[in-house]
C-alpha cells in the first residue's frame, strides 16, 4: 500500500501558503515512517496571488527532495459581494467543498489528515463525511487562537458592541484586553464577516488538533488557558501543537554572491544602532504619513533603514502589491540629503530576514504581521508595533503587555492608523536611546531569541511537538473506500 499522505488546504497569501507548506515539510522530515504531502490549490483571487504561488510551487518542485504533490482544484466563481476577508475565505472554501471532497476520494493512498487554514472551516464538512481527521494550521499567535475560541462565548456575553463597551475584556491567560485593540471584524457586529468570525471559533472545537506557528514558552499562560478549557466554556479544546517558529531561512550566501545593497549599507553601521522600518509585503504609505515618519526620524537623531513602498498600481481594486516608491514624490524636500550619513530609504522589496539578522539592527518598526514578529523574535530584535489591519492591533497589544518585547507606539486607528512625527520620535528614542523601557524590551527580545532557538533544537519543545503531531497523524490515517 502507498505511503499515507497529509492533505493541505492553504489559502493564497504568502504569509499563509508558505508557512503551511514549510510546516508540512517539517512533518515529513520528522516522521518515523514515510509520509507525503498533497497540496490542494484553490483558485487565487488575483493574478498577482496566482503568480506568487506558481513561482513558489516551481521552486519547491525543483529543489525539494521530499514527497510533495500539488493539485489544482477546479475553478469556481469567487464571491465579490463579501464584507471582509473572513467572509470571503469561508464562502470561497464553501464553493470548493465538492471539488475538495472529490480530490480526497480520488487519492490512491491512506489519508493521514486534512490540514486547513484559519478560515477554511466549511472544509470540516468533508473531513467529517469521509471520517478523515481534520487539523487547523493557525498562522498567528496563541493569543489570537484564544480569541477565536472564546468568540462564541463573547458573542453571547457582551450585550453591546465591543467598540461601545466600557472596561476591558477577559481573555484567559492575557492581561485585561481593551476592546479598541480587537480585530476590526469584531468591532462591526452587523457585518456578515463578524458572524463568519464567530462561526469559525465555534467550529474549531470539531478539529482533531490545532497546529500553531508558535513556541510554547512564549505564550505559556495562554496555551494553558486553552488546554484547561477556559476559552471554550469548560469544554475540551482541540489538542494544540505549538511547532514554531516556522521560518523559511535562506542558507548563508556563497562568498561569490553579491550582498544586497541594504546589507552592504548595514555593514558600515555600528552594532545594534540601526532602526529598521518595514511594513510587510502589502504595506504602503501615503505622502502625509511618509512626511511624518521622515520628520520623526530626522528629529530622533538615530540611524535608520526604511523600506518605503508606494501605492499599488490599481488601488481601486483593493488588491495587489505595493509599487516601487517614488522617493522624490513621497518624501519632504531635503530629507534624503540631511539624513544621508545615518539613514537609507529603500524604495523596493528588501530581504527582511537577512536585515533583521544583521548585527547593526537594534530595533524594528513592524506592521505586526505574524511572520514578521516571529522573524524579529528569532533574531532577538525588539519592536515598535505599528499595526495596519486584520489582527495586527491585537498582536501589537500582546507584544507590549504580554511578551514585553516591544515599546508601545500610539497609533490613531480612526485616522487609518496614522502616527504623528512627535510620537514616533518619542518611541524611537525610548527603544533605541538606552532608556528603561527600551532596555527591558531589548533584554526580553534576547531572551525570546534563545527560547525560540532552543525550541527548534533536537529535544526542544517545538521539535518534540512536531514529532508528536507526526505520530498522531500516522496513527489516524484513514484508508478511503476506493483504495
CA dist 429 and 333 (Å) reads 24
CA dist 350 and 160 (Å) reads 44
The catalytically annotated residue of 16, 82, 96, 393 is 16
Buried b (16+ CB within 10 A) or exposed e, 466-480: bbebbebbbebbbeb
Q: Which residue in this structure is represented by grid cell 487609518?
A: 416
117 catalytic residue (yes or no): yes
Buried b (16+ CB within 10 A) or exposed e, 213-223: bbbbbbbeebb
CA dist 147 and 220 (Å) reads 15
No. of helices (H) and no. of strands (E), the chain: 17, 14
99 catalytic residue (yes or no): no
CA dist 131 and 114 (Å) reads 10
In 3D space, the residue among 116, 23, 97, 106 whose CA is nearest the CA of residue 71 turns out to be: 106
Pure H helices in 64-161:
85-105, 124-130, 142-157
CA dist 141 and 252 (Å) reads 28
The catalytically annotated residue of 52, 117, 393, 402 is 117
Whether 82 and 59 have beta carbons less than 8 Å apart is answered as no
CA dist 358 and 351 (Å) reads 11
Buried b (16+ CB within 10 A) or exposed e, 174-208: beebebebbbbbbbbbebbbbbbbbbbbbbbbebb
| Residue 33 to residues 66, 74, 132, 261, Cα–Cα distance (Å) | 13, 32, 19, 44
Active site residues: 16, 117
Amino acid at each position: 500500500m502507498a505511503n499515507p499522505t497529509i492533505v493541505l488546504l492553504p489559502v493564497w497569501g504568502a504569509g499563509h501558503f508558505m508557512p503551511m507548506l514549510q510546516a508540512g515539510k517539517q512533518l515529513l522530515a520528522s516522521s518515523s515512517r514515510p509520509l507525503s504531502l498533497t497540496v490542494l490549490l484553490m483558485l487565487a483571487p488575483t493574478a498577482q496571488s496566482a503568480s506568487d504561488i506558481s513561482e513558489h510551487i516551481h521552486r519547491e518542485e525543483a529543489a525539494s527532495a521530499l514527497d510533495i504533490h500539488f493539485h489544482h482544484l477546479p475553478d469556481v466563481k469567487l464571491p465579490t459581494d463579501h464584507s471582509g476577508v473572513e467572509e470571503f475565505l469561508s464562502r470561497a472554501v464553501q464553493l470548493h467543498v465538492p471539488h475538495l471532497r472529490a480530490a480526497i476520494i480520488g487519492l490512491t493512498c491512506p489519508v493521514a489528515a486534512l490540514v486547513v487554514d484559519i478560515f477554511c472551516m466549511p472544509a470540516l464538512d468533508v473531513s467529517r463525511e469521509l471520517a478523515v481527521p481534520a487539523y487547523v494550521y493557525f498562522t498567528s499567535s496563541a493569543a489570537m487562537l484564544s480569541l477565536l475560541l472564546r468568540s462564541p462565548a463573547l458573542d453571547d456575553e457582551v450585550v453591546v458592541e465591543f467598540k461601545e463597551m466600557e472596561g476591558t475584556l477577559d481573555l484567559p491567560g492575557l492581561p485585561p484586553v481593551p476592546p479598541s485593540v480587537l480585530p476590526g471584524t469584531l468591532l462591526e457586529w452587523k457585518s456578515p464577516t463578524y458572524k463568519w468570525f464567530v462561526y469559525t471559533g465555534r467550529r474549531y472545537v470539531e478539529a482533531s488538533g490545532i497546529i500553531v506557528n508558535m513556541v510554547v514558552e512564549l505564550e505559556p499562560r495562554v496555551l494553558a488557558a486553552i488546554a484547561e478549557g477556559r476559552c471554550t466554556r469548560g469544554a475540551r479544546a482541540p489538542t494544540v501543537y505549538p511547532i514554531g517558529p516556522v521560518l523559511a531561512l535562506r542558507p548563508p550566501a556563497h562568498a561569490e554572491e553579491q550582498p544586497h545593497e541594504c546589507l552592504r549599507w548595514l555593514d558600515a553601521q555600528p552594532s545594534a544602532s540601526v532602526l529598521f522600518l518595514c511594513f510587510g509585503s502589502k504595506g504602503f504609505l501615503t505622502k502625509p504619513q511618509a512626511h511624518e515618519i521622515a520628520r520623526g526620524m530626522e528629529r530622533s537623531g538615530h540611524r535608520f533603514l526604511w523600506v518605503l513602498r508606494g501605492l499599488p498600481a490599481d488601488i481601486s481594486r483593493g488588491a495587489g502589491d505595493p509599487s516601487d516608491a517614488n522617493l522624490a514624490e513621497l518624501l519632504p524636500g531635503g530629507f534624503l540629503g540631511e539624513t544621508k550619513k545615518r539613514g537609507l530609504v529603500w524604495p523596493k522589496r528588501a530581504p527582511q530576514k537577512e536585515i533583521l539578522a544583521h548585527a547593526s539592527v537594534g530595533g524594528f518598526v513592524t506592521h505586526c504581521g505574524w511572520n514578521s514578529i516571529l522573524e524579529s523574535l528569532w533574531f532577538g530584535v525588539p519592536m515598535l508595533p505599528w499595526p495596519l489591519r486584520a489582527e495586527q492591533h491585537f498582536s501589537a497589544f500582546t507584544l507590549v503587555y504580554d511578551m514585553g518585547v516591544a515599546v508601545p507606539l500610539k497609533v490613531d486607528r480612526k485616522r487609518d492608523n496614522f502616527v504623528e512625527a512627535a510620537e514616533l520620535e518619542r518611541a524611537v528614542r525610548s527603544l533605541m536611546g538606552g532608556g528603561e523601557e527600551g532596555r527591558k524590551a531589548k533584554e526580553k527580545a534576547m531572551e525570546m531569541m534563545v527560547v525560540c532557538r532552543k525550541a527548534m533544537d533536537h529535544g526542544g519543545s517545538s521539535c518534540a511537538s512536531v514529532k508528536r503531531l507526526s505520530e498522531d497523524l500516522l496513527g489516524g490515517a484513514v484508508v478511503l473506500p476506493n483504495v
